Amino acid sequence: MDTIVQRVNPEYFQDKELEKACQILQSGGLVAFPTETVYGLGGNALLEEASHKIYTAKGRPSDNPLIVHIADMDGLYDVADKISEKALALAEAFWPGPLTMIFEKKEKVPLSTTGGLSTVAVRMPSHPVAAELIRQSGVYIAAPSANTSGRPSPTKAEHVIEDLQGKIDMILDGGAVGIGIESTIVDMSGEKPMILRPGYITKVMMEEVIGEVDVDKAILSMEPKTNIVAKAPGMKYRHYAPKGKLAIVEGDIDSVVAKINQLTELHEKEHVKAAVIATEESKRLYQCKNVYSIGSRKSEGSIAAGLYDILRLMDQIGAEYIYAESFSEDTLGHAIMNRLFKAAGYHRIQV
Ligand code: TXA
Ligand code: MG
């Protein structure tokens, strides 16, 4: 299949630039598009055939449900049932934006979209291209992240091209995304709201609006839990992983730098390619040949935005061993460390 790659400037574009993408969605095809979190691989959420195509293109297990993207509140009432006051308050506060809520699904949402579940995940994205694509096509867009299953999520169109060129109809290239990690997922279908995946919208931010919010035990701790099954099916898979062996090195920064220097020196002696994931503040302290800055410790946002790009870069340079500094687990740091620990298969070195 030929994949059309079309550039769209998110700051300024005209309706007709999305015409082709809308036609493809309306006829059951797949379009990758930018959102404020990561790029999504979109298809018609109400069309069984489209969700099958999504699973095939990503190589994704079909028990891993998709998020349904909507453009307005009418869309929510159309696909979701039993929408609580608390859910409406969260929608009011954080939509459009990087928050996904889980509800009982309406009959019209096929089980192929929800991975066989009776619930549906819904998100109203704020990215202008995503929002306009849903509005103009008149299609609720089922969209997982637009990466091959198991690879880091795409934060640039280049990442989508790397993984999905030739497998999907179209890629809308809107440049680099703003946030860089996937939306927060909160389950609103149970008695108490529960966070299933941490993201840009934090527990504290939600609690300011609706009071107490639980966190799925499977993500509370940064340890692999064999006896606790994650409530978001996708959270159980090894994700975001570079091909090399990644370890997170924890401790005070001087000890971390010393330890990483010692390890990378050993690898280099043995002619094994090693790399370091450092920050703007620390990158000059390493002796390794391959040192990359993920962002600045002064801005958690810059670290989130740089995370997946740097994990992909590790594959490009063919790093066999990768050592990353660790970050605070406060606010956005919780989501960053959640992704980083999963990428490392929970491999950590304490110094
Ligand atoms: O930011 C995002 O959420 C991006 C952009 C494209 O919107 N999408 C995204 O989708 O990250 P995906 O498929 O990579 O992750 C969706 C997650 C999976 O972990 C899946 O298991 C979970 O949402 N999920 C979807 N529906 C669910 C449901 N009904 N119950 C529990 N978890 C659900
Ligand atoms: Mg994903």
pLDDT score, position 114: 97
pLDDT score, position 232: 79
Given CA atoms 273, 293, 310, 206 in this order, what sign does their dihedral have? Answer: positive
* HSE-up of residue 33 (Cα within 13 Å, Cβ side): 29
- Among residues 9, 11, 10, 15, which one has the least CA distance to residue 135? 15
Confidence of residue 222 (pLDDT cuts 50, 70, 90): low
CA 259 to chain centre: 30
Q: How many Å lie between the centroid of ligand 2 and the Cα of residue 335?
A: 14
Average pLDDT over residues 318-332: 92
| 220 has pLDDT over 70 | no
Ligand 1 atom nearest to 185, measured from its CA: 23
| 240 has pLDDT over 90 | no
Reported residue count of the chain is 351
Alpha carbons 103 and 84: distance in angstroms, whole number: 9
Q: How many Å lie between the centroid of ligand 1 and the Cα of residue 314?
A: 25
| DSSP secondary structure, 58-82, as one string | HT--TTSPPEEE-SSHHHHHHHEES
Q: Is 323 helix (H, G, I), strand (E, B) or coil?
A: strand
> Which residues are CB-neighbours of 288 under 8 A, at least 6 positions away?
260, 261, 264, 265, 268, 274, 275, 276
Q: How many angstroms separate the first and last alpha carbons of the chain?
A: 50
Percent of the chain surpassing pLDDT 90? 87
* HSE-up of residue 40 (Cα within 13 Å, Cβ side): 29
Sheet holding 291-293, edge to edge: 291-293, 274-278, 321-325, 245-250, 348-350
16-26 pLDDT tens trace: 999 999 999 99
| 287 has pLDDT over 90 | yes
pLDDT score, position 137: 98
Q: Is the CB of 294 under 6 A from ligand 1?
A: no
Alpha carbons 54 and 43: distance in angstroms, whole number: 7
The 10 Å CB-count burial string (b at 16+, else e) for 41-77 is: bbbbbbbeebbbbbbebbebeeebbbbbbbbeeebbe
| 79 has pLDDT over 90 | yes
Q: Is the CB of 183 under 6 A from ligand 1?
A: yes
Alpha-carbon separation of residue 106 from 71, 113, 324 (angstroms) = 17, 12, 44
258 token code pair: 């010393």
Average pLDDT over residues 89-116: 97
Average pLDDT over residues 158-170: 98
Identify which of 182, 307, 338, 339 to mutate to test ligand 1's pocket (most ligand atoms within 8 A of the CB).
Answer: 182
| DSSP secondary structure, 83-107, as one string | --HHHHHHHHHH-SSSEEEEEEEPT
